[in-house]
């Protein structure tokens, strides 16, 4: 029973199988334990895809039949799991008790392990993020290491503005990073990971929320200028929020608030806009043999359709129009 959702991460397919034993062995190697109810083998139709980011992965999963998956405490990977529903329901038993993953409700599970009972025909996007990445981003935002690992509220209301923002960031990352069979740009993979983790820490209630709110003070302009100078000097390299925070000398939450108040954007969005500006400069001085595609890829834009839309929104013309106009002026 092939699902209509299998187009999600279609270029990143890891395994398709109708063999429960083969699938169980595959999952056991990753420290997941699969159990099926009696008779489920007839409708079992497993498919999983994944795109790997520096400290996390985004995946698609379906079982076809009803299935129970146990993620034990004490795994080698101490990941947080975010389950975003696509179709059907799944019941998750985790650190917060019983939480239902359904159309308007996503679920976060802490590294302490969880059990999922997925109903037949259900499909999900799963995001797995290492505890170290969550803690590191929290430290960047706070300006100091958190006293304990961030503990999130287990349910994400996807109908709320915060929930819609988290869902939108995850889906945008999937659209960009699954654009073709080649490996995703390291620059963009890192940028999306930063965006998603920062969004979780700022928008999803957690044990650091109160401290993060206190950091939303105004930042001296000279400190923010150091952050801008740092980004401008490294636009062709992967840059994380932690890198920018270290260069600015102020807590990340303060930096984010300043950018929002005075520039109307976030540091990572500013970084993307600055890279678009560099693309425009390169298009204006393009040499024989250069192409719009090659120049965009050089600056980390590997989803060319989305790149073209963002470029037009920022500069009022398409990249090819800039390219052609520049060549015409030099003739």
Q: Tokens standing for 82?
A: 């975010």
Most confident region among 86-90, 276-280, 319-323 by mean pLDDT: 86-90
Q: Is the pLDDT of residue 92 over 90?
A: yes
* Alpha-carbon gap, residue 300 to 234, rounded angstroms: 12
Instruction: Compute the average pLDDT of residues 230-244.
Output: 89
Confidence grade of residue 77 (pLDDT, cut at 50, 70, 90): confident
Instruction: Compute the average pLDDT of residues 189-194.
Output: 89
Q: Is the pLDDT of residue 176 over 80?
A: yes
Mean pLDDT of the chain: 88
Confidence grade of residue 93 (pLDDT, cut at 50, 70, 90): very high
Instruction: Compute the average pLDDT of residues 133-161.
Output: 89
Q: Is the pLDDT of residue 165 over 80?
A: yes
Q: Is the pLDDT of residue 1 over 70?
A: no
Confidence grade of residue 237 (pLDDT, cut at 50, 70, 90): confident
Beta bridge partners of residue 92, listed in sequence order: 99, 116
Per-residue confidence (pLDDT) for residue 300, from 0 to 100:
84
Q: Is the pLDDT of residue 289 over 90?
A: no
Instruction: Compute the average pLDDT of residues 236-259.
Output: 88
Q: Is the pLDDT of residue 175 over 90?
A: no
Q: Is the pLDDT of residue 192 over 70?
A: yes
pLDDT per residue over 34-48, tens digit each?
Answer: 999 999 999 999 999
Reduce the secondary structure of the chain to three states and give it as a string.
CCCHHHHCCHHHEEEEECCHHHHHHHHHCCCCEEECCCCHHHCCCEEEEEEEECCEEEEEEECCCCEEEEECCCCCCCEEEEEEEEECCEEEEECCEEEEEECCEEEEECCCCEEEEECCCCEEEEEEEEHHHHHHHHHHHHCCCCCCCCCECCEEECCCHHHHHHHHHHHHHHHHHCCCCCCCCHHHHHHHHHHHHHHHHHHCCECCHHHHHHCCCCCCHHHHHHHHHHHHCCCCCCCCHHHHHHHHCCCHHHHHHHHHHHHCCCHHHHHHHHHHHHHHHHHHCCCCCCCHHHHHHHCCCCCHHHHHHHHHHHHCCCHHHHHHHHHHHCC
Per-residue confidence (pLDDT) for residue 127, from 0 to 100:
96
Contacts for 82 with CB less than 8 Å, ≥ 6 apart: 106, 107, 108, 126, 127, 128, 129, 156, 170, 200
Per-residue confidence (pLDDT) for residue 130, from 0 to 100:
92
- How is domain 272-329 classified at the CATH fold level? Arc Repressor Mutant, subunit A (1.10.10)
Confidence grade of residue 331 (pLDDT, cut at 50, 70, 90): low
- Per-domain boundaries in the chain: 4-159, 272-329
Per-residue confidence (pLDDT) for residue 330, from 0 to 100:
55
Instruction: Compute the average pLDDT of residues 61-74.
Output: 93
Instruction: Compute the average pLDDT of residues 86-113.
Output: 93
Confidence grade of residue 217 (pLDDT, cut at 50, 70, 90): low
Instruction: Compute the average pLDDT of residues 163-185.
Output: 87
Per-residue confidence (pLDDT) for residue 218, from 0 to 100:
55
On the question of a common fold for 4-159 and 272-329, the answer reads no
Per-residue confidence (pLDDT) for residue 2, from 0 to 100:
53
Instruction: Compute the average pLDDT of residues 257-275.
Output: 84
Instruction: Compute the average pLDDT of residues 273-301.
Output: 87
CATH superfamily of 4-159: Jelly Rolls (2.60.120.10)
Q: Is the pLDDT of residue 327 over 80?
A: no
Chain-centre distance of CA 273, in angstroms?
A: 19
Instruction: Compute the average pLDDT of residues 142-153.
Output: 85
Per-residue confidence (pLDDT) for residue 215, from 0 to 100:
75
């Amino acid at each position: 029973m092939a699902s209509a959702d299998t187009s999600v991460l279609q270029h990143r397919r890891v395994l398709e199988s109708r063999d429960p034993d083969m699938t169980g062995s595959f999952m056991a190697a990753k420290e997941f334990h699969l159990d099926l109810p009696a008779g489920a083998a007839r409708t079992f139709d497993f498919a999983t895809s994944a795109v790997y980011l520096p400290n996390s992965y985004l995946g698609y999963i379906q079982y076809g039949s009803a299935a129970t998956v146990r993620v034990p405490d004490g795994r080698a990977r101490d990941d947080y799991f975010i389950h975003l529903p696509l179709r059907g329901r799944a019941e998750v038993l985790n650190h917060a008790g019983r939480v239902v993953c359904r159309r308007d409700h996503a679920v976060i599970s802490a590294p302490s392990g969880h059990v999922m009972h997925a109903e037949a025909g259900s499909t999900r996007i799963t995001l797995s993020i290492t505890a170290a990445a969550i803690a590191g981003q929290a430290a960047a935002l706070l300006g100091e290491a958190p006293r304990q690992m961030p503990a999130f509220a287990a349910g994400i209301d996807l109908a709320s503005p915060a929930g819609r923002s988290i869902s939108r960031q995850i889906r945008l990352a999937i659209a960009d990073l699954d654009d073709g069979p080649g490996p995703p740009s390291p620059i963009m993979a890192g940028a999306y990971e930063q965006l998603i983790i920062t969004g979780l820490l700022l928008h999803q209630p957690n044990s650091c929320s109160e401290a993060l709110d206190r950091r939303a003070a105004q930042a001296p302009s000279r400190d923010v200028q150091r952050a801008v100078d740092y980004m401008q000097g490294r636009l062709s390299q992967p840059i994380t929020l932690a890198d920018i925070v270290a260069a600015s000398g102020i807590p990340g939450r303060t930096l984010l608030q300043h950018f929002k108040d005075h520039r109307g954007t976030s540091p990572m969005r500013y970084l993307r806009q600055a890279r678009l500006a560099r693309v425009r400069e390169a298009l204006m001085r393009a040499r024989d043999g250069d192409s719009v595609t090659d120049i965009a890829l050089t600056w980390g834009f590997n989803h060319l359709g989305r790149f073209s839309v963002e470029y037009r929104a920022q500069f009022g013309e398409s990249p090819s129009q800039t390219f052609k106009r520049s060549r015409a002026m030099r003739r």
